[in-house]
Amino acid sequence: MKIIVPNYYKEFRCIADRCKHTCCRGWEVEIDEESMERFSNHADILERVDQGEDTHFRLLEGEICPFLMDNGLCEMIVKYGEKMLCQTCTDHPRFRNYWTDRVEMGLGLVCEEAARLILNKEMPMRLEVLSDDLEPAEELPEDEQWLLDVRDSLLENISEEGPLARLKEYLIYRHIPDALYDDRLEERIRFVDLFVRMAQEKWDKTDRSIEALEEIVRTMSYDMEYDEEVKENYLENFSKQ
């Protein structure tokens, strides 16, 4: 099966202690079973884990990850290397969309470095193959092919220019595939348009620097994309209009 990514994907590197908005604060990190097996031989890690139905790291006051050091680095990485991280931390800020013949991956705007990469590209987003196992791919079902064609058309018809165009490309790439699961394509298109319009309105009230837009979309992504209840409310409201 192929893994497809935007052309900026391979450029991403976590900027760690240089990040102004660490992802090690404000998130309850769930821990997968495979990671727990690795942790089982490390008492210094286990003592900071709450185990149960929802196994996760025990956050400190201020919703801070117990492994976040004062210098902004991750204690787990410093002591054991990145391979010790659980899947949630390894993946962030990446997302995946699944099709019959491919997996599409991308970077989420909630990460300031990802936002910088996405918004600063001068040319339109291109998709490229990250890896391919070369096994014969299953034929794409009609509904998936139709949705891919719709998405391609939406990308081709973007009228915005500059960073707002890059923003809309990202939103279309990330959210339109979700219509496969709930048939709410029109609502998702309206969600994308609303997001871009709100970002532009907020940006127009600033010095219109790219740095200002990066911060605006990072905050909006946290509020509108990662809060599933908020996103669901938007989609439901669109369906009633």
Predicted local confidence at residue 4, as pLDDT: 96
Predicted local confidence at residue 92, as pLDDT: 94
Which residues span the domain enclosing 139?
2-13+92-240
* Residue 19 falls inside a structural domain: no
Task: Specify whether 31 is located in the same domain as 9.
Answer: no
**pLDDT tens digits, residue range 93-118?**
999 999 999 999 999 999 999 999 99
Choose one of 70, 91, 112: the last residue of a domain: 91
Predicted local confidence at residue 28, as pLDDT: 87
**pLDDT tens digits, residue range 16-43?**
999 999 999 988 899 999 999 999 999 9
Predicted local confidence at residue 133, as pLDDT: 79
- From residue 3, how far is each of 94, 147, 181 by CA, in Å? 13, 18, 20
For 5-18, give one letter per residue: b (16+ CB within 10 A) or e. Answer: bbebbeebebeeee
Predicted local confidence at residue 53, as pLDDT: 83
Angle separating helix axes 163-175 and 142-156, nearest 10 degrees: 170
Task: Specify whether 215 is located in the same domain as 130.
Answer: yes
The pair of three-digit structure tokens given for residue 72, joined into one six-digit string = 């902004």
Choose one of 76, 91, 106: the last residue of a domain: 91
Per-residue pLDDT of the chain (241 residues; tens, 9 = 90+): 899 999 999 999 999 999 999 999 988 899 999 999 999 999 999 999 999 888 999 999 999 999 999 999 999 999 999 999 999 999 999 999 999 999 999 999 999 999 999 999 999 999 999 998 767 667 899 999 999 999 999 999 998 899 999 999 999 999 999 999 999 999 999 999 999 999 999 999 999 999 999 999 999 999 999 899 999 999 999 988 8
Predicted local confidence at residue 27, as pLDDT: 85
Beta-bridge partner residues of 103: 3, 98
Q: Could you tell me the sign of the dihedral formed by the alpha carbons of 128, 5, 133, 38, in that order?
A: positive
* Residue 79 falls inside a structural domain: yes
Task: Specify whether 83 is located in the same domain as 182.
Answer: no
Measured between alpha carbons, how far is 42 from 46 in angstroms, rounded to an integer?
6
Q: Could you tell me the sign of the dihedral formed by the alpha carbons of 201, 202, 207, 211, in that order?
A: negative
Predicted local confidence at residue 139, as pLDDT: 85
What's the domain count of the chain? Answer: 2
- pTM of the full structure: 0.92
